[in-house]
Structure 1
Amino acid sequence: MSGELEGLKVAVREELSDLWGDLHRAQTYAINGTWSIACGNLEERIKLLTPLVGATPWDEIQIPLLENGVYQRIHGDLGIVVEPDMGRVALVRARINAETP
């Protein structure tokens, strides 16, 4: 049974990772560029699964979701403290900006 449970946890973690990516895309394509009904639906799914397996590590989250505080807010709503290394996030952003023509 424990092997099945561990397999289920892995599947939920993978689904959460996919949901964060979907949320990033939904926010990017939202009419106002910030939030949409699709974003809200994805947020609810993230909030449903996160308590089952814990927070997705911040370094697996898309940079804009960290920069705009969505990752932190969603976890805060759940009572989960997350502390992304915003210094590292800024370094990644600077690298991305430097590579963008």
Structure 2
Amino acid sequence: MSGLTRLKAAVRGELADLWCDLHRAQSYAINGKWSMACDNLEERIKLLTPLVGATPWDEIQIPLLENGVYQRIHADLGIAVEPDMERVAECRARMEASAP
């Protein structure tokens, strides 16, 4: 594996972690919507995404897809993403059906 290939894999891994961190930061925000921590994570996502492309939507936390954050961030970058919202809804329904 070349150094460039390893670097791109590392950036993709970091992006996946940043999306997870953004989901967590949003859930901890005082209003449950957005915070300064979210702003910081968004900027880091926007810095790395153009280098390796969009993180696949099926690797993103469901609330970030449902509330449009994933779509908005990519739109800001001029990157088209089209999550399958029907599959997202099906996954949400399965999660809610299995919740205690």
Deviation at 1:30, TM superposition (A): 0.4
- Residue 55 of structure 2 corresponds to which residue in structure 1? 56
* Residue identity opposite 2:25 in structure 1: A
- Residue 17 of structure 1 corresponds to which residue in structure 2? 16
Deviation at 1:43, TM superposition (A): 0.1
Deviation at 1:100, TM superposition (A): 1.2
- How many matched pairs? 100
Gaps of 5+ in 2: none
Runs of 4+ deviating beyond 4 Å: none
Residues in 1 aligned to 2:21 and 2:58: alpha-carbon distance in whole angstroms = 16
Residues in 1 aligned to 2:63 and 2:95: alpha-carbon distance in whole angstroms = 12
Residues in 2 aligned to 1:100 and 1:35: alpha-carbon distance in whole angstroms = 26
Q: Structure 2 length as normaliser, TM-score?
A: 0.98
Give the root-mean-square deviation of aligned CA atoms.
0.8
Q: Structure 1 length as normaliser, TM-score?
A: 0.97
Residues in 2 aligned to 1:100 and 1:69: alpha-carbon distance in whole angstroms = 24
Gaps of 5+ in 1: none
- Residue 79 of structure 2 corresponds to which residue in structure 1? 80
- Residue 30 of structure 1 corresponds to which residue in structure 2? 29
